[in-house]
Structure 1
Amino acid sequence: MRRFAHHKLGGDWHRAEDLLQEAMLRAWLQMRDKPERELRVRPWLKTVIKNLAIDEFRSHGSRFEAVTDVETDGREATDHTRSVLAELVVRDAMRDLSENHRQILQRVYLLDLSTRAVAEELGIPSGTVKSRCYHAVRALKSALMTRGVTRDTAL
């Protein structure tokens, strides 16, 4: 019967199973309501399945179709929850840093500027940029540790 429903619905196994369940429910109700009536089950089920498939085909245009396939261009959908939470924790930890440390980290790591470019922009020697960067990273690491982020729970 499932194969018959599958054929009638054009190859959709899930809809065929739904249709078969509906047919079985109708058969059960038919038998419950009229137990004395002799029913040839197989031909009757085929007729019910055929009629349900026709009804489904006719009503197909009048209702929304469930989305089953989403094109992802070969990429899998990812859950961005961890990255969003990590960003929130890092932003919060950055507030604990001095203005000099924040400036250096933002320019070196977020804007991906070279130490020479940061030195020119801020008007300080490049050695100072390197030193501040070293100390800023250590301060950020400490701020993250106070928030419970360790190597084992790395963002």
Structure 2
Amino acid sequence: MGGVRPRHRQVADEALVRTLFEEHGRAMLAYAQRLTGDRATAEDVVQEALIRAWKHPDALVNGKGSVRGWLLTVVRNLVLDGVRARNARPKEVAESPATVAVEKDHADRVVNSLVVLGALEQLPDAHRSVLVEIYVRGQSVSETAETLGIPPGTVKSRSYYGLRALRDLFTARGTGMEGVA
């Protein structure tokens, strides 16, 4: 017979679930909604609790407590299982224009860094030192001026001409990094 139930058993099971819902459904739904704070989730929990009652009718008859107590315990356990399952997984973050997709391979960044460092080596020392201080070490114009012992206007000028020289190098090489500098 496998998993097929005789017709009279199927009718009896349907009657059991219907009766349970008629007698205890409102209390189960109210309890589930209070625990979850969401009507739709509460309805799903009640449905699952009724399926458990249908699968284990002996627990209702041979139980030590009341039928309603058993059903409300099942509801509570289902809600707790759902909370535990959500807490066990990392939080999902919706993709949006504000969130940047996770980079799968950092090889492009490494190659770009090597290309930029190689190009910096081809610049005159005066331009290279200014660009390193500003863009690699993250210093401001005034900090760079103090570090290198030159006026801020000279830092701005060398930065401008250094970036222009980098752009020309990238364009000449056809690296695709023309917009970087």
Q: TM-score, normalised by structure 1?
A: 0.47
How high is the TM-score relative to the length of structure 2?
Answer: 0.41
Please state which structure has a larger fraction of its residues in helix: 2
